[in-house]
Amino acid sequence: MSARILVVDDIEANVRLLEAKLSAEYYEVLVAYDGPTALAMAAADKPDIVLLDVMMPGMDGFSVCRRLKDDPETRHVPVVLVTALDGRADRVAGLEAGADDFLTKPIDDVMLFARVRSLTRLKAVIDELREREASGRRMGVIAGAASRMGGSGGRILIVDDNQRQAERVCAELSIEHRPIVETEPEKALMAARGPVDLIIFNAAAKGFDGLRFAAQIRSDEATRSLPLLAIVDFDERTRLVKALEIGVNDILARPIDPGELSARAKTQIRRKRYTDYLRNNLDHSLELAVTDQLTGLHNRRYMTGQLEALLQRAAQGGEPVAVMAIDIDHFKKINDSFGHDVGDEVLREFAVRLASNVRAIDLPVRHGGEEFVVVMPDTDLEDAHRIAERIRLHVAGSPFRVMGGQELLTVTISIGVASSLPEEARSEPLLKRADEAMYEAKSKGRNRVVARAA
């Protein structure tokens, strides 16, 4: 997987060396020699990863990283700090500024490319979610933007058979989070299916294969998006690189530094909450695209696609499809007399009665205003007429309670019924016949069902 990488360093030799290494692996490389230029390029050129030197004059790497993470347009871009500093305070400062990881000079090529591949995969997932969210926003089915999401209060699953190490990790994380410890991978896999924000596991566990556990998390659809933080001995290069290849999000070196543990956990939890926000917005936008928000029934857009598919199947020798067109009688009078809030109550109550009086295979739809449609697969005109009459009697048979039960309204409906003709593969003629039958029912005095064969 290729990517666009922005390399930032005030020393040209360092930039050229990284540029040569990355270009040889077919990455597209952008370069900047100072912080302000890097910020401008990140906003304009949309890199997939930023490799950022820490020690730069004017604006250092920590400041640049903080600015990138404060900007909603760039906060999702992974930032790797490249530094000759290898002290605890510098790592923690970088993580608190929002950095995703560190590379220490001189840069190890194996670690460089393992980290770049891992972060590129992560960025691709977030980009897809962001694009879908943006599409939903343009369609008007998503409103608002993500607030800055914190990384505290997380539900953390610690998987480790080293009791002393697990207890120390748990004690440190308990200050800001809700950790639990599990020593057996089978039980941990089950626990991971619950409400978990982060999994921290010992990649060098004695009683189980930590990397196999990580692979199982990534292969299970229910858990594959959970962030994984591996505790690894940095001397075990093969295990470390393999962890990144499997899909581990971050690495924590032993001996564990409490401040670094806390900072890395916050980073992963914050990112998970951001991706969850994007996924939830996407799910919500899909729901909004097919659902009427007042009644909870499907909407006209969804009905059209479903009806077309059923009609095509019927035209190829399948069972006929029937349609009801339903109108609430004198609905305007209800709105004028009691107000639109009461009108909405009537629509919601009618939707409940409608949905409870059709079959599981039928599709009740709010077509618009006080008009509803029911699509009825594998149904001929006679059966559709009988079901429509049952619905009409149920609606008219008991009053609608509105205004908290203070008012009882008698509501009636007019229904037109039509069934598909042989080789009729388009929805418009069928819907038109049902609509005409419904208007005939209204013209004949309302509160009745009219069926139209052709």
Annotated catalytic residue 128: no
- CA nearest neighbour of 47 among 74, 82, 71, 22: 74
- Tokens found for residue 46: 């949309």
Q: Which residues pair with 401 in a beta bridge?
A: 408
Measuring CA to CA, how many Å separate 111 from each of 82, 259, 311?
A: 12, 23, 57
Q: Do residues 50 and 80 touch, judged by C-beta distance below 8 A? A: yes
Strands 400-402 and 407-409, sheet pairing? antiparallel
What's the Cα-to-Cα distance from 349 to each of 251, 294, 339, 363, 447, rounded to whole Å? 55, 11, 16, 17, 17
Element of type H or E holding 104: strand 101-104
Contacts of 24 (CB under 8 A, 6+ apart): none
Which one from 182, 345, 370, 424 is the annotated catalytic residue? 370
Residue 102 β-bridge partners: 81
Q: End-to-end distance of the chain based on CA atoms, in angstroms?
A: 58
* Catalytic residue IDs: 370
